[in-house]
Structure 1
Amino acid sequence: MNRYLVMLMRRPQCDPAIVPLHREFLEDLRAQGRNELSGPFSDKSGGAYLLRAASPAEALAIAHRDPAHTSGGWDITVHEWLAD
């Protein structure tokens, strides 16, 4: 499995009620061994998580199931992480 950095930036229309659903999604990923690390940015502009997936396509598919994405309240980008 490879690592992917999923970055989420809040849009003005972000619904705060989605945050608990997003956190539940991240906990489910953690239970599957796919979410290594996650957290919000200190300025409340968004957050990021480190995702384990077999390919860029799989990482993007997983990130697109995130309630933060499906709600339309966050911009999500996925970057392959080549950490040592």
Structure 2
Amino acid sequence: MGEAAADRHFLVLAMRGPDFDPAVIGPHRAFLERLREQGRLRLAGGFGDASGGAYLLRADDLDQARALAESDPLHVTGASRITVFEWNL
């Protein structure tokens, strides 16, 4: 990850779909832990109403952030709809 990525943040919204399977939560948490170990994950958490959650990524650009988020088991399995926004902190 280059120096420029330190200042680029991306908010990932993960909203549960109608076919959400709770079995994906474990793999999703492991995915987030790998991002944390890589220095890419700033914050993460679920919404109080259990409709989904969000996490804050560090990435070089929007394409890289989308590629990371699209490798999340929540997205890969179709359990949640993933939306990525660049967030100017």
State the superposition RMSD in angstroms.
0.4
Separation of aligned partners in 2, 1:15 and 1:67: 11
Structure 2, unpaired ranges of 5+: none
Structure 2 residue aligned with 1:70: 76
- Residues 24-77 of structure 1: CA deviation (Å, up to 9, x unaligned): 000000000000000000000000000000000000000000000000010000
Count, aligned residues: 83
TM-score by length of 1: 0.97
Which aligned runs of 4 or more in structure 1 are off by greater than 3 angstroms? Answer: none
Instruction: Give the one of 48, 52, 59 matched to 2:54.
Output: 48
Q: Secondary structure at the match of 1:76?
A: strand
The answer to whether 1:6 aligns with 2:7 is no
Q: Percent of counterpart pairs with the same letter?
A: 52
Higher share in strand = 1
